[in-house]
Amino acid sequence: GVIVAEPGKRAFFRQKRDTLPGQPEEFIEGEGETIDYDGKADIVKFIRRGEMRRYRGGQLSDQVTGSIIVYNNITDIYTVDGQKTSGGLPSSSVGQGGRVRAIMAPKDGTPGAKPKPPATPETPLRQSMTLGGDKGDEKK
């Protein structure tokens, strides 16, 4: 379905994503002057002054803005265009300046989580009391 916002405003979309047991809840929400949702393909388009946000466990994780945002919920892939072109001429990107902006958190971590400790080497390192070589041992 297609939703068109009142002049000067943006329409709103929110969808809960399927997550694995034990994983934090995820929501996708977005705004645009026009929102086009294809429920069969599970693809949503935020058109003109688009903004999309992903929340993991109630925390803002990712945020993108652009003129057109296309999000595929099945593949979890989105594309963002800064300006829509019509007949080779750029159209107005009100409030965007033709730029795409993105803030993204690592996918396998939750925002604000401590990084994983480095992996330990398979062969433990041993301390040596000598430096390999005889040249340094000679005294003259």
pLDDT in tens, 35-94: 999 999 999 999 999 999 999 999 999 999 999 999 999 999 999 998 754 444 444 444
- Four-point Cα dihedral 116, 121, 124, 128, nearest 10: -100
Does pTM top 0.85 for this prediction?
Answer: no
Q: State the Rg of the chain over Cα.
A: 25
Q: Which two tokens stand for residue 44?
A: 């949503």
Superfamily of domain 2-109: Lipopolysaccharide (LPS) transport protein A like domain (2.60.450.10)
The structural domains of the chain, with segments of one domain joined by +, span 2-109
